Amino acid sequence: MENQDISENTAKIAEAKESKLELADNVGGKANKLRLALFASGRGSNVAAILKAHKEERLAGLTPVLLFSDKDCPALDHARNYPLAYKTLYPKDFATREAHEEAIVDLLRQYEVDVIALAGYMRLLGKPLLDAFGGRILNIHPSLLPEFPGTKSIERAYTRGVPFTGVTVHLVDEGMDTGPILRQERVDIPEGMTLADLETAIHQVEHQLYPSVLVAFAKSRREKQ
Ligand code: GRF
């Protein structure tokens, strides 16, 4: 349970940091920020990009409060280093998928999360999470959906020989990369481009696009409140 201890500490640091930011915001007369949870299962370059945007005050209207993962993965290092509270709940520790998700929902409620950004989170979401947070869960996907949903989307686009692919940020529903699209950006595949070059180009676009869509999403939600 070492993870939990570290997590408690980072939570305190994150809270202290956050209250300073919110204080600064309130001085300016702005409404409170929405509390953002990041979900990741892998490398975490999008987590890093979102935290960098926050550090550089480019994540207007949002405060990251938690990184959640379903496994031990490199993404957690970005939370440890930021610092941001993080927590792992392993599916194998729960009797059913629903029980796992119910525990995640409890965790999100503890952190008073408003918005969730999936960033390389490799599980389909089920009823408990969608009932609790439907319409407030975003995902980033490395293709121009509905083209190339699922895994290995960059590689499949490259192998198919299409002249362009891209990046999509969308709301999450119960399907695989099927929810309403919020924004898309095209990435060209010129003659002679290698797969590695394409992967780099896609990730560069992702790292700019995701923070900016999150900011726009937060703005539109706060305007509706
Ligand atoms: C990204 O390409 C994202 O679009 C997809 O999973 C990948 C995650 O990469 N959903 P990283 O873990 O953020 O580096």
Q: Which of 102, 81, 83, 85 is nearest to 93 (CA)?
A: 102
Considering the candidates 54, 78, 100, 141, report the single residue annotated as catalytic: 141
Supply the range of the domain harboring residue 131: 2-224
Q: Which residues of 95-108 are buried (b: 16+ CB within 10 A; e: fewer)?
A: eeeeebbbbbbeeb
Pick the residue whose CA is nearest to atom 14 on ligand 1.
45
Stretches where the chain sits below pLDDT 50 are: 1-14, 16-30
Give the nearest ligand 1 atom to 139 CA.
Answer: 10
Distance 175 CA to ligand 1 centre (A): 18
Pick the residue whose CA is nearest to atom 6 on ligand 1.
120
Pocket, ligand 1, Cβ cutoff 6 A: 40, 42-46, 75, 119-120, 140-142, 206
Distance 78 CA to ligand 1 centre (A): 14
pTM of this structure: 0.88
Please report, for the domain that includes residue 194, its CATH number.
3.40.50.170
Q: Which pLDDT does position 2 carry in this prediction? A: 37
**Cα 212 to the chain's mean position, in Å?**
12
Q: Which residues contact 195 (CB under 8 A, 6 or more apart)?
A: 154, 155, 158
The tally of domains found in the chain comes to 1
Annotated catalytic residue 100: no
Pick the residue whose CA is nearest to atom 9 on ligand 1.
120
Q: Are 41 and 70 in contact (CB under 8 A)?
A: yes
